[in-house]
Chains A and B, each alone.
Chain A
């Protein structure tokens, strides 16, 4: 009991200093009050993530209304009321959301609709393309890497590889033909 009074007085002094612009006192206070806020919030919320989210919301509220604290009054009561209010607000928000949202455990699984899997298939296609490029003859692979993957112009690719523009054109044409055949079977 004596400890609680001392803690309250210390927090009250820190908040009074914070109100006067002492940032060091403010950091100490906000760190000190975290376990107390967490304890209040834990009465309404269970998961650690959720508790941490509400605790942060309480810290923001404390920051916003810090000018309403009267150093002549108990600090813990002031803080507890803010924490309880924010905690209940968060619970109401959650209840409201739950009334309109449905939890679907299979939502992240793939569906028969091809469009649903498009994003995943892009990565699959890229993986397949890399494998196909790796199997090309050296000159064709070099041409496709420089002109298509690194998007160089023919002149740039020519100076980078030391091959003629005509040779690069022929090699990239053959490479694309091979890749199309390999990827689509056409």
Chain B
């Protein structure tokens, strides 16, 4: 052992105070998701037009879309909590892929059907600007709260955690959007939804350096 390393160990030990162990990642993810779910339910009950939603919900494709967005959000958040710890495998990053495929497939099918029924109007710009604002507007506060809890783990590979967290909050926002979105999505809407998700993921990943806890230095 070099003299420098021996000194470093002494210094680290000298400043080693008791630490609070993190709770299991599944428990932490569940806690965050429950709080977010309570906020979304309250917002839906207060602001959404439930009569219109009930009419649209008769169509099973909406159920698949809802399921796809909700599961993508929950799976991404769970994966982000796991990957924020040093000893969890990278395969956690694959967890959101099946529900993401369900989300894209169900939305894509809805667009295709809309295009078959309505012809060229299937390509028109629906309420895309509203959707973009909605997803981005919901994602920002959700992302901030998620960052606060994820950075407690001081992730060693924060970029992947940030990207998964971004996908999670954007998917949850897209789920909530369905309750405030009284029409079928067009191809442009779908592109905007996915574009908004990409913006959120990229924004969180790009700003990862800002919220990453500072690397340890010699005490």
Shortest distance from the beta carbon of B5 to any chain A beta carbon, whole Å: 6
Determine if A85 and B22 form an interchain contact, defined as CB atoms under 8 angstroms apart.
Answer: no
> Chain B interface secondary structure, helix, strand, loop or mixed?
loop
**A-chain residues with CB within 8 Å of residue B18 when the two chains form the complex:** 19-21
Determine if A59 and B4 form an interchain contact, defined as CB atoms under 8 angstroms apart.
Answer: no
Closest-by-CB residue of A relative to B87 is A78
B210 interfacial contact with A, CB 8 Å? no
Determine if A70 and B13 form an interchain contact, defined as CB atoms under 8 angstroms apart.
Answer: no
Shortest distance from the beta carbon of B52 to any chain A beta carbon, whole Å: 46
Shortest distance from the beta carbon of A71 to any chain B beta carbon, whole Å: 8
B2 interfacial contact with A, CB 8 Å? yes
**B-chain residues with CB within 8 Å of residue A69 when the two chains form the complex:** 21, 87
A27 interfacial contact with B, CB 8 Å? yes
Using A52-B2, A70-B21, A73-B87 as known contacts, say yes or no to A63 and B217 having CB atoms under 8 A apart.
no
Determine if B12 and A59 form an interchain contact, defined as CB atoms under 8 angstroms apart.
Answer: yes
Closest-by-CB residue of B relative to A62 is B12
Determine if B5 and A52 form an interchain contact, defined as CB atoms under 8 angstroms apart.
Answer: yes
Q: Return the 10 tightest CB-CB contacts between A and B, nearest first.
A: A21-B18, A67-B19, A64-B216, A78-B87, A60-B216, A27-B13, A30-B9, A26-B13, A63-B12, A85-B156
Can you identify 6 A-B contacts, CB atoms within 8 angstroms? A31-B9, A59-B5, A64-B154, A66-B16, A68-B85, A85-B157
